[in-house]
Chains A and B, each alone.
Chain A
Amino acid sequence: MRKVIKLNSETQLIKQSLKNNRKAQKLLYQKYAPKMLSLCTYYIKDLQQSEEVMLNGFFKVFTKLSKYSNKGSFEGWIRKIMFRESISYLRKKKQLLFTNEIEIYGKFIENEVESDIAVEDLHLYVNQLAVGCRVVFNLYVVDGYKHAEITEILQISEGTSKTQLSRARKALRKMISINQKKYHGTK
């Protein structure tokens, strides 16, 4: 008699994926791949490279699935793997440097920046940032890590983390200000 496996819930999908059920793995992949690819693009500019990193991340997800202890959301667990994979990729490519970057954006006045901005636009600005600033900004703002946690993940000092974030913030404000002036004619 043929055994029918229901793959309705996420728990069932995870259980079956643990048994190397490709269908279950595919369903999990289809569910989370778009979100994870978006996440990877926040760390890695290039979409193709981001996809490569995402695939590597999913490979790790399926091969290390037994280590998932059901504490916290499964999505959160995958996100962790994805940004760690992204950081490791940047390290391999020797792009993750935290040198004293020259502030090319100059001074800016906070009042000049309008608060409403599309997420996609901000994403574009974030991608313009230096790698170190971008990574720290994404970890802090997008993934919600504290400076103490960022220092552990990136193996940098807390001061460096704060400096990088401050620079990212300033640079983004400047960029937004410039763009608003350019396209909307605001002061």
Chain B
Amino acid sequence: MEQNKYREQVQNSVIAPSDGSWEKLSKKLDEYDNDKKNNKRLFMKYAASMLIIISIGFFFLQPENEISTDEIIVSPEAGKTSIKPSVTNSRHEPYLASPTENSTVIKMSEPKPLANEIINYGVEESVAVKNEDNIELNENSQRSVPKYYTTNTSKVTSKIVQQKIDTDYEVEELLKNAILNIEQNGQYLNKTKFSALDLLGEIENDLERDSRRKLFEKIIITIKNPTEIEITDRSK
């Protein structure tokens, strides 16, 4: 009980603080607030500068892919203007450039067997597609298209999915046109090739007919005008 009494009395006892003690405390609190604000500002500055550095780094470290519009070609089917895609990639990886615009052209430095073969078959250059990675084959066209395409079809298909619909459509259109042209021209070339053999046969037939005709003419002349035939003796 006495302890509680004493405790109460001690706890209620007061000593007045010196004058200006509140001012001291107030000043200290102001400094603390300023420091806090400065720290906040400093943090924001650091955060902002980090963000800028990261965004700049992200911008410059993107893969270097040139996007340019080289040639404008006319789609033979629709007759509308479209862009010829060509792919260049210095890292030897098939890369499809951003397909945001219709004017997207993809360049690649990989070997171009299709292009060569197409040229050999006499396909027009305006529809020659020099990108082996972006080709999806139709069953009908496999006969005349090199084996090179079929091996990369699945790989290419997965990458094409990443492109926008516009570019996909354009590429598909161009490929279809190219394959159609290949087939058409291929048929024409086949005919020419076989007609040469026919020609030779015809010529041979003509020659045979002509020699027969001459032989018959001689026989007829001989029959009509019989001539004496002198037989010389060689033993003499």
On A, residues with C-beta under 8 Å from B are 20, 22, 25-26, 29-30, 33-35, 37-39, 41-42, 47, 51, 54-55, 58-59, 62-63, 79, 115, 119-120, 122-123, 141-144
Q: Which residues of B are at the interface with A, using a C-beta cutoff of 8 A?
A: 2-3, 6-7, 9-18, 21-22, 24-26, 28-29, 32-33
Starting from the known contacts A29-B22, A34-B15, A123-B10, 14 additional A-B residue pairs (CB-CB under 8 Å) come to A33-B17, A33-B21, A34-B14, A34-B17, A37-B15, A37-B17, A55-B21, A58-B25, A59-B25, A79-B11, A119-B9, A119-B13, A141-B3, A142-B11
The 21 listed contacts between A and B (C-beta, < 8 Å) are A25-B26, A26-B22, A33-B17, A33-B21, A37-B16, A37-B17, A38-B10, A38-B13, A51-B17, A51-B18, A55-B21, A55-B25, A55-B28, A58-B25, A59-B29, A62-B25, A63-B29, A119-B6, A119-B10, A142-B10, A143-B7
* Complex CA distance for A35 and B24, rounded to whole angstroms: 18
The smallest beta-carbon distance between B11 and chain A, in angstroms, is 7
Check B15–A63 contact: CB distance below 8 A: no
Question: Which of B12, B22, B29 makes the CB contact (< 8 A) with A35?
Answer: B12
- B residues within 8 A CB of A143? 7
Known: A55-B25, A58-B25. A115 touches B12 (CB 8 A): no
A144 to chain B, nearest CB (A): 6
Report if A38-B14 is in contact (Cβ < 8 Å); known contacts: A119-B6, A119-B9, A141-B7. yes
Beta-carbon contact of B24 and A55 below 8 Å: yes
Contact between A30 and B22 (Cβ–Cβ < 8 Å)? yes
Chain B residue at minimal CB-CB distance from A144: B7
Tally of contacts, chain A with chain B, CB under 8 A: 72
* Interface majority SS (helix, strand, loop, mixed), chain B: helix
Residues of A within 8 A of B10 (CB): 38, 42, 119, 123, 141-142
A residues in contact with B21, CB < 8 Å: 33, 51, 54-55
Q: How far is the CA of A55 from the CA of B33 in the complex (A)?
A: 17
Task: List the A side residues contacting B16 at CB < 8 Å.
Answer: 34, 37
